[in-house]
């Protein structure tokens, strides 16, 4: 009888047994081919291996030989019984998919790394008591309490040990951590073994905590990223960006259903916002207006978290996303160059077109001989009220100074307008920015060159969009009861 042809799954099991650690599917396929465990004429053996392991892990569940440990990365389920545990923190090192996303008010890692050494030497009870006293002094909707300046509220509202601990948190983190907002900063090290509790309840930075502080891109950071959905949020931005948080929310909520106990829309939004803020602080994503996009550092971190020793084969979807982003930036730069060279009157009509696209009505370009410093006038609906707005446009290369803003504000009554806007191809001085929303004065919105380009592209002015269809493998179509090729 002819010997059965070995399956991808059989080959993967042998490769992982020899490696003794999780590997990316592409690396598993490469090693399997080199060792002669499988032979394939396909052009993408890595993708075939990924499909095989993905189907196996999803359809067989706990009966599967494989577990997914990170994006496109797999290990052996038998390792779960042997993995180490961390006292006081349920942190599986292999089957991260079974973890629960559970840290509200998720902090930035810069804040967490600054705070950990500060907590050493204090007791767990000290932290709990400080939290209780701050909550007791929070106030209510009708009697709101200002917590923005710790230098003021710490000596006013706290006493004794609480005052000393809060002052240490604020000053020793160089103002990174406001003691009023420490929920996530306390839960994260407790849940992930970054703090040890010794005799008398005294806290100390654990070995894992020190690794988290010292190795910005170390294993502990990777484990927390994966467990708390930070890595998933980064993947979403890489796959869908540039995208707003609203556009990321639906796939994020779907992920939460299987990885957390969170069900409310408000909580889902808050959890996503905190994780995007974490990624922004680390430079793994950036934001232009309301849109998030992945950075080169973010793509490199995704590759690192894949689990193999090298960069691995490039992900086609991420490459397409990166090229699309580069193309968008090139178009924006071309647009900026043209705006600087436009005829002033043509520039005013371009702004008229933009305002109409944004929902303004009765938009008119004023007469050049009698504009009184106002170039465009329009009506905009605010709730149930329609208000008139005046716009001044400046095709400058130098920053707009405050006198221009004051002059426009002084012209509002001539047009029976309640607010104004200055749009420029350059920027604004600090004095102009401070005066824009001066208390008791009519608001003046300031639109600089970058924001102008963003508004033009968002409203489809000056750009043509082409759709590119990108296929992704969906293993769910192949999920069934049959054994996988055995």
Cα–Cα distance, 78 to 371 (Å, whole number): 78
- Residue pair 380/389 in contact by the 8 Å Cβ criterion: yes
The structure tokens listed for 27 are 């690396």
Q: Which of 71, 43, 168, 152 is nearest to 115 (CA)?
A: 168
Contacts of 147 (CB under 8 A, 6+ apart): 153, 178, 180
Same structural domain for residues 172 and 265? no
Quick one: CA torsion of 420, 456, 292, 245, rounded to 10 degrees? 70
**Range of 22-31, 440-449, 458-467 with top mean pLDDT:** 440-449
Same structural domain for residues 65 and 113? no
Residues written for the chain: 486
The residue among 308 and 54 whose pLDDT is bigger is 54
Other C-beta atoms lying within 10 Å of the C-beta of residue 358: 14
In the predicted structure, residue 486 carries a pLDDT above the cut 50: no
Other C-beta atoms lying within 10 Å of the C-beta of residue 90: 14
Same structural domain for residues 113 and 167? yes
In the predicted structure, residue 284 carries a pLDDT above the cut 80: yes
Q: Is the peptide bond before 109 cis (omega within 30 degrees of 0)?
A: no
Cα–Cα distance, 359 to 397 (Å, whole number): 28
Query: 58-67, 285-294, 316-325: which has the minimum mean pLDDT?
Result: 316-325
In the predicted structure, residue 308 carries a pLDDT above the cut 50: no
Task: Please report, for the domain that includes residue 424, its CATH number.
Answer: 3.40.1350.10
Cα–Cα distance, 113 to 9 (Å, whole number): 41
Same structural domain for residues 215 and 235? no
- Residue pair 451/26 in contact by the 8 Å Cβ criterion: no
pLDDT of amino acid 144:
60
Same structural domain for residues 408 and 307? no
Same structural domain for residues 63 and 41? yes
In the predicted structure, residue 98 carries a pLDDT above the cut 60: no
Query: 194-208, 209-223, 253-267, 349-363: which has the minimum mean pLDDT?
Result: 253-267
pLDDT tens figures, 209-267: 999 999 998 889 998 998 899 999 998 898 887 888 988 998 898 888 878 888 888 99
**Range of 102-106, 323-327, 474-478 with top mean pLDDT:** 102-106
Q: Is residue 257 a part of any domain in this protein?
A: yes
pLDDT over 90, % of the chain? 46
Tell me the whole-structure pTM to 2 decimals: 0.56
pLDDT of amino acid 273:
96
The residue among 442 and 39 whose pLDDT is bigger is 442
Task: Please report, for the domain that includes residue 298, its CATH number.
Answer: 1.10.10.10
- Residue pair 65/94 in contact by the 8 Å Cβ criterion: no
pLDDT of amino acid 320:
77
**Residue 459's pLDDT band (boundaries 50, 70, 90)?**
very high
- Edge-to-edge strand list for the sheet holding 385-394: 361-365, 376-382, 385-394, 419-424, 444-447
Question: What does the pLDDT average to over 164-178?
Answer: 95
Query: 87-101, 178-192, 232-246: which has the minimum mean pLDDT?
Result: 87-101
Classify strands 361-365 and 376-382 as parallel, antiparallel or unpaired. Answer: antiparallel
Q: Where are the beta strands (DSSP E) in 105-248?
A: 195-197, 203-205
The structure tokens listed for 373 are 């410093």
Q: Is residue 157 a part of any domain in this protein?
A: yes
Q: Which of 198, 220, 242 is the last residue of a domain?
A: 220
Q: Is residue 421 a part of any domain in this protein?
A: yes
**Residue 86's pLDDT band (boundaries 50, 70, 90)?**
very low
- Residue pair 166/130 in contact by the 8 Å Cβ criterion: yes
**Residue 43's pLDDT band (boundaries 50, 70, 90)?**
low
Classify strands 73-76 and 66-70 as parallel, antiparallel or unpaired. Answer: antiparallel
Q: Is residue 182 a part of any domain in this protein?
A: yes
Same structural domain for residues 173 and 258? no
Other C-beta atoms lying within 10 Å of the C-beta of residue 229: 27
- Residue pair 230/102 in contact by the 8 Å Cβ criterion: no
pLDDT tens figures, 143-157: 566 788 899 999 988
Q: Is residue 465 a part of any domain in this protein?
A: no
The structure tokens listed for 404 are 């221009």
* Containing structural domain, residue 289: 229-314
Cα atoms in the Cβ-side hemisphere of radius 13 Å centred on 417: 24
Q: Is residue 1 a part of any domain in this protein?
A: no
In the predicted structure, residue 122 carries a pLDDT above the cut 90: yes
In the predicted structure, residue 276 carries a pLDDT above the cut 80: yes
pLDDT of amino acid 74:
86
Same structural domain for residues 197 and 253? no
Q: Which of 64, 80, 96 is the last residue of a domain?
A: 80
pLDDT of amino acid 143:
53
Beta bridge partners of 445: 421
Q: What is the overall mean pLDDT for the chain?
A: 84
Structural domain total, the chain: 4
Same structural domain for residues 370 and 296? no
Same structural domain for residues 62 and 23? yes
Q: Which of 314, 332, 353 is the last residue of a domain?
A: 314
Same structural domain for residues 205 and 124? yes
Q: Is residue 471 a part of any domain in this protein?
A: no
pLDDT of amino acid 311:
40
Q: Is residue 102 a part of any domain in this protein?
A: no
Contacts of 439 (CB under 8 A, 6+ apart): none
Cα–Cα distance, 305 to 94 (Å, whole number): 13
Same structural domain for residues 360 and 450? yes
pLDDT of amino acid 455:
94
């Amino acid at each position: 009888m002819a010997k059965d042809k070995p399956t991808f799954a059989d080959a993967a099991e042998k490769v992982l047994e020899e490696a003794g650690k999780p590997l990316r599917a592409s690396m598993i396929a490469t090693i399997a081919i080199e060792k002669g465990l499988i032979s394939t004429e396909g052009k993408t053996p890595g993708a075939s291996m990924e499909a095989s392991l993905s189907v196996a892990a999803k359809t067989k569940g706990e009966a599967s030989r494989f577990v997914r440990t990170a994006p496109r990365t797999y290990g052996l389920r038998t390792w779960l019984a042997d993995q180490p545990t961390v006292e006081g923190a349920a942190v599986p090192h292999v089957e991260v998919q079974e973890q629960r996303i559970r840290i509200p008010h998720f902090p930035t890692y810069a804040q967490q790394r600054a705070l950990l050494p500060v907590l050493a030497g204090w007791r767990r009870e000290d932290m709990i008591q400080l939290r209780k006293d701050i909550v007791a002094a929070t106030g209510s909707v009708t009697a709101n309490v200002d917590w923005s300046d710790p230098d003021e509220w710490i000596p006013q509202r706290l006493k004794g040990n609480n005052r000393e601990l809060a002052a240490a948190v604020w000053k020793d983190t160089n103002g990174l951590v406001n003691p009023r907002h420490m929920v996530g900063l306390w839960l994260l090290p407790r849940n992930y073994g970054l703090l040890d509790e010794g005799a008398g309840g005294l806290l100390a930075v654990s070995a894992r905590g020190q690794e988290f502080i010292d190795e910005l891109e170390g294993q502990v950071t990777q484990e927390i990223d994966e467990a708390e959905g930070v890595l998933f949020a980064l993947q979403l931005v890489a796959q869908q960006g540039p995208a707003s948080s609203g556009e990321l929310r639906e796939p994020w909520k779907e992920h939460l259903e299987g990885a957390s106990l969170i069900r409310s829309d408000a909580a889902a939004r808050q959890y996503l916002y905190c994780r995007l803020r974490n990624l922004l602080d680390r430079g793994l994503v950036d934001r232009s207006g309301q849109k998030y996009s992945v950075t080169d550092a973010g793509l490199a971190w995704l590759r690192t978290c894949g689990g193999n020793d090298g960069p691995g084969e490039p992900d086609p979807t991420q490459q397409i996303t990166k090229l699309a982003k580069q193309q968008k930036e090139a178009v924006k730069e071309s647009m900026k160059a043209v705006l600087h060279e436009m005829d002033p009157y043509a520039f005013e009509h371009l702004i008229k077109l933009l305002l109409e696209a944004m929902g303004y009505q009765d938009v008119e370009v004023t007469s050049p001989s009698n504009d009184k410093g106002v170039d465009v006038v329009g009506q905009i609906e605010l709730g149930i009220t329609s208000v008139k707005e005046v716009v001044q446009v400046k095709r400058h290369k130098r920053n707009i100074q405050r006198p221009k803003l004051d002059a426009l504000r002084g012209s509002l009554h001539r047009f029976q307008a309640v607010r104004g806007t200055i749009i420029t191809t350059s920027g604004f001085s600090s004095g102009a920015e401070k005066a824009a929303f001066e208390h008791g004065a009519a608001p003046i919105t300031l639109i600089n060159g970058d924001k102008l380009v963003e508004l033009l592209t968002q409203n489809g002015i000056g750009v043509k969009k082409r759709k590119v269809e990108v296929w992704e493998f969906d293993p769910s179509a192949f999920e069934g009861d049959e054994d996988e090729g055995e």
